[in-house]
Amino acid sequence: MSRVAIVGIGHSRFGRRTDVNLGELAFESIKQAIDDAGVDKKDIGNVVVGSAGIWYEESLPAVVVDEYAGLSGAGTMRVEAACASGSAAVKAAYNSIASGETDVAMAVGVEKMTEVDTSTSVELIGRAGSYTWEFENYGMTFPAYYAMYAVSHMNRFGTTEEDLSRVSVKAHHYGALNPLAQFQKEISLEKALGSQVVSWPLKLYDACPLSDGSASVVLASEETAKKLTDTPIWIKGVGYSSDTANLSRRDDYVGLRAAVTAAKKAYAMAGVGPGDIDVATAHDCFTIAELMAYEDLGFCKKGEAAKMIRDGQTEIGGKIPVNLDGGLKAKGHPIGATGVSMAVEITKQLRGEAGRRQAPIKNGVGLVHNIGGTGHYAYVTVLSRD
């Protein structure tokens, strides 16, 4: 199997993008990634589009995206893994190169979530699990799913509402340094704690926004990558797993079993451990999700995530900087784009191109943690300069 590297990256501005349609939004990041890679469109053998695709009018987003970007003729498909659709797209593009099918492939993540009203969007996301058992019978919505995990973590480990809010404050701090983020304004701990309750203990500032956006990466085989760039970022390990659709069939609610399994697989494939990671992105759709990710990824022991955020260990200068782009919480969460956006961010970090958000890079290793639903899907990807 060929080694595979990221050789080009692109990223649109996230937010409410009423200025563009789906094809135009995807093209913003596609053009950047192709220009960054220095490849000809005709050399791209496969284009994989990650999109949940239930918010906008296009039922066949991959062909629309390809046509607008001038990529018609390439192999193409759309993949869906809920909020992990972007990482699933990267994995599928990776597979097409590692298998020898093509030398160059592209993963595109795109979503336009603001074309429907908020209540409709809340209903659509609330179906991201077991429709009959959770949404239809009990009226659960997505914030309620993660609120259940938050309450369990608080009861078992003493995690507090203030700990949750500290995650939000951190996210907004780094989002303010990211010109592509949806929210570019810092907030105080008091403002986060005093915001409207959405599903206790989760408040408005504990939740990510509805977003539009796109992100793209160009991948290449080892031989091609070395011809294209002096700074290839290698995909060293990819782990993935899933869990029950029905949350009542799970053993506990203080972590995501699929994420733990995916992380173990990614570390084993890459030949690294949690202590080797210089910088990471974690799926913080809600603040509790980031805290659980610290533990699920092995950055700390179970029950110690709150101490990490209190001590600043996941900020620049700390043990393991996490979500220096603002995360889903402040950068935004256009569902299909998120996993690809995370890969773009870690590539920037490992290249040393993150500017004021740059983490110290010692081992040359970064990690992407991308979750779909409430741990229904999990993808963990390890990237490396070597």
- Within 176-322, residue ranges assigned H as helices are 189-193, 222-228, 257-270, 287-296, 305-310
> Residues 129-144, buried b or exposed e (16+ Cβ, 10 A)?
bbeeebbeeeebbbbb
Domain map (residue ranges) of the chain: 4-116+215-228
Please give the average per-residue pLDDT across 293-298, as a whole number.
98
Specify the pLDDT at position 133: 75
Specify the pLDDT at position 53: 84
Alpha-carbon distance 275 to 259, whole Å?
17
Please give the average per-residue pLDDT across 7-29, as a whole number.
98
Cis before 321 (ω within 30)? no
CATH topology (fold) of 4-116+215-228: Peroxisomal Thiolase; Chain A, domain 1 (3.40.47)
Structure tokens given for 169: 């404050």
Structure tokens given for 313: 């260990």
Please give the average per-residue pLDDT across 173-186, as a whole number.
98
- Scan for tokens 């799970």, then name that residue: 250
Alpha-carbon distance 237 to 370, whole Å?
14
Per the document, the length of the chain is 386
Pairing of strands 75-79, 4-11: unpaired
DSSP secondary structure string for all residues of 98-156: HTTS-SEEEEEEEEE-TTS-HHHHHHHHHTSS-IIIIIIHH---HHHHHHHHHHHHHHH
Would you say 31 and 10 are in contact if contact means Cβ atoms under 8 Å apart? yes
Specify the pLDDT at position 134: 75
In 184-290, where do the E strands start and end? 197-199, 202-203, 212-221, 233-242, 279-281
Alpha-carbon distance 296 to 255, whole Å?
6
Instruction: Compute the chain's Rg from CA coordinates.
Output: 19
Number of helical H runs and strand E runs in the chain: 14, 11
* Residue 205 CA to its chain's centroid (Å): 19
Higher pLDDT, 30 or 56: 30
Give the active site residues: 83, 333
Q: Output the CA torsion sign for 315, 374, 92, 326.
A: negative
Task: State pTM to two decimals.
Answer: 0.97
Structure tokens given for 382: 């390890």
Read off φ and ψ for residue 223, nearest 5 degrees. -60, -45
Pairing of strands 104-112, 46-50: parallel
Would you say 292 and 150 are in contact if contact means Cβ atoms under 8 Å apart? no
**Average pLDDT along the chain:** 96
Nearest to 342 by CA among 318, 316, 364, 370: 370
Nearest to 365 by CA among 315, 316, 321: 321
Would you say 182 and 330 are in contact if contact means Cβ atoms under 8 Å apart? yes
Specify the pLDDT at position 125: 80
Tens of pLDDT along 134-178?
776 677 888 999 999 999 999 999 999 999 999 999 999 999 999
Read off φ and ψ for residue 246, nearest 5 degrees. -85, 115
- Percentage of the chain surpassing pLDDT 70? 99
Specify the pLDDT at position 23: 97
Alpha-carbon distance 346 to 297, whole Å?
16
Whether 126 shows a pLDDT value over 80: the answer reads no
Q: For the chain, report the end-to-end CA distance as a whole number of angstroms.
A: 17
Would you say 382 and 272 are in contact if contact means Cβ atoms under 8 Å apart? yes
Q: Could you tell me which residues come within 8 angstroms of residue 15 by beta carbon, excluding any fewer than 6 positions away?
A: 182, 211, 212, 213, 332
Alpha-carbon distance 375 to 252, whole Å?
12
Specify the pLDDT at position 170: 98
Tens of pLDDT along 84-113?
999 999 999 999 999 999 999 999 999 999
Q: Could you tell me which residues come within 8 angstroms of residue 136 by beta carbon, excluding any fewer than 6 positions away?
A: none
